[in-house]
Amino acid sequence: MNTLWIATIGTCVIAFALKYSGHSVPERWLSHPKIQRINALIPIALLSALVAVQSFSEKSKLMIDQRLVGLSVAIIALFLKAPFPVVVLSAAVSSAGVYRWF
């Protein structure tokens, strides 16, 4: 079995296990304030790291390319309070434009 299949199945199994555990374990296990706080911080840390790595690297090399333009446009769209799909679409269109014409 290759990496992609292991990643796909592993992610699916753990994702469901996490969801089901929330519905099954006693509430006090997961309602501790420290767990609540960590839960609020983890997505911020991971998603920010993912934004950076996905924008400025390829494999293990750092690089700046059309994705910088896409990211900048996405940031502007978010400051203008654009809805989610508009943010993604505007990033894609601007990045594709730079890639095709430069």
Partner 1 sequence: MSKVSSTTLRDSLSVSITVGAYGVAFGAAAVANGFTVLQSCLLSLLTFSGASQFAVIGVVGAGGSAISGIATASLLGIRNALYGVIMAPRLQVSGITRVVAAQITIDESTAVALGQEPRGTDAMRKGFWYTGIGVFVFWNLFTLAGALGAQAMGDVRAFGLDSAVPAAFLGLVWPRLTGKFERILAVSCAIFAIAMTPILPAGLPIIATAFIAIAIGLKR
Rounded to a whole number of angstroms, the minimum distance from the CB of residue 94 to partner 1 is 7
H/E element holding 23?
helix 3-24
List 57's β-bridge partners, or say none.
62
Judge whether 72 and 43 are in contact, CB under 8 Å.
Answer: no
Rounded to a whole number of angstroms, the minimum distance from the CB of residue 35 to partner 1 is 8
Cα torsion 72, 98, 96, 62: sign: negative
Rounded to a whole number of angstroms, the minimum distance from the CB of residue 78 to partner 1 is 5
Rounded to a whole number of angstroms, the minimum distance from the CB of residue 80 to partner 1 is 12
List 58's β-bridge partners, or say none.
61
H/E element holding 54?
helix 33-56
